[in-house]
């Protein structure tokens, strides 16, 4: 039997000055939990201005933040259910 589960992710970007991009991400899990992550990218003044690249880097870092939080959440749930300590990758 297959079960299809969807996660909804919202991502917003904000440019700060000419050199920094910030990203805020939100994932809504089926149990109603919302996990928020943040990331940023900074362009060196001598680099060409490429807003898309800054968004990609900042967005990826925000998603990495969410991934880390979700791993911690999952391990806490494993520990609670099993009564022992689970070990993550990092």
- Output the pLDDT for position 20: 94
When pLDDT is cut at 50, 70 and 90, the band that residue 87 belongs to is confident
Q: 33 or 25: whose pLDDT is higher?
A: 25
Residues 6+ apart with CB under 8 A from 69: 35, 37
Residue with tokens 């099993």: 82
Distances (CA, A) of 86 to 6, 31, 78: 26, 22, 7
Q: Where are the domains of the chain?
A: 8-82
d(CA 22, CA 41): 7
Three-class SS state of 75: helix
- Its pTM stands at 0.83
How do residues 41-85 score in pLDDT, each as one tens digit? Answer: 998 888 888 879 999 999 999 999 999 999 998 898 898 888 888
How do residues 16-27 score in pLDDT, each as one tens digit? Answer: 988 999 999 999
Q: Look up the CATH superfamily of 8-82.
A: Rv1738 (3.30.160.240)
What average pLDDT does the segment 28-41 reach? Answer: 93
Q: Which residues of 22-31 are buried (b: 16+ CB within 10 A; e: fewer)?
A: bbbbebeeee
């Amino acid at each position: 039997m297959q079960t299809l589960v969807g996660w909804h992710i919202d991502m917003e970007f904000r440019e700060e000055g000419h050199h920094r991009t910030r990203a805020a991400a939100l994932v809504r899990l089926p149990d109603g939990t919302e996990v928020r992550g943040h990331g940023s990218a900074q362009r060196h003044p001598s680099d060409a201005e490429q807003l898309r690249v800054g968004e990609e880097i900042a967005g990826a870092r925000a998603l990495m933040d969410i991934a880390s939080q979700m791993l911690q959440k999952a391990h806490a749930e494993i520990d609670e259910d099993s009564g022992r300590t689970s070990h993550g990758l990092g």
